[in-house]
Amino acid sequence: MISKAEKMSLKLLRAVFLSTAVALLCSSLAFAGSSGRNSEEFSVKQYSDFHDVLHPLQHEALPQKDFARFRSNATKLVRRGQAIVRVGAPRGTAKDKIAEFRKELRKFDAALKTFRKAARNGTDARVESSFSSVHDSFEMLVGMLPRK
């Protein structure tokens, strides 16, 4: 027969085992879910595609002042940004917000052109400031996107 102390030990052991199993499961799901992409899901695919290039530049290259990385990714970033401009005001944008959305798209397009020029033959300071303009304008557009 099992004593009361042994029953308590078994309950504690079972609880520790279950807690560990749940923690491992959560960790493996989080790792599998990331699948190497840093993509944030936006309501418009082109925004997610653009963000896939923008994010590592903002959070890795910029803090390290890795301007060679900005320059090597400039064409891809600008191409994906131009895809956003071509989309225009996405479906689901409130009618009273379309003009404001288009105005921000024009600012974004101008920021992309300035960044492209700076990445080709501008100083590091110009690359940094023009990239910041692209980033800030993108953030404004994201805030205006219709929700999923």
56-95 confidence digits (pLDDT tens): 999 999 999 999 999 999 999 999 999 999 999 999 999 9
99-135 confidence digits (pLDDT tens): 999 999 999 999 999 999 999 999 999 999 999 999 9
- What is the CB neighbour count within 10 angstroms for residue 102? 13
In this structure, which topology does domain 45-144 adopt according to CATH? Four Helix Bundle (Hemerythrin (Met), subunit A) (1.20.120)
Residue spans per domain, the chain: 1-36, 45-144
This model's pTM is above 0.85: no
Q: What is the mean pLDDT of the chain?
A: 84
Which pLDDT band holds residue 38 (cuts at 50, 70, 90)?
A: very low
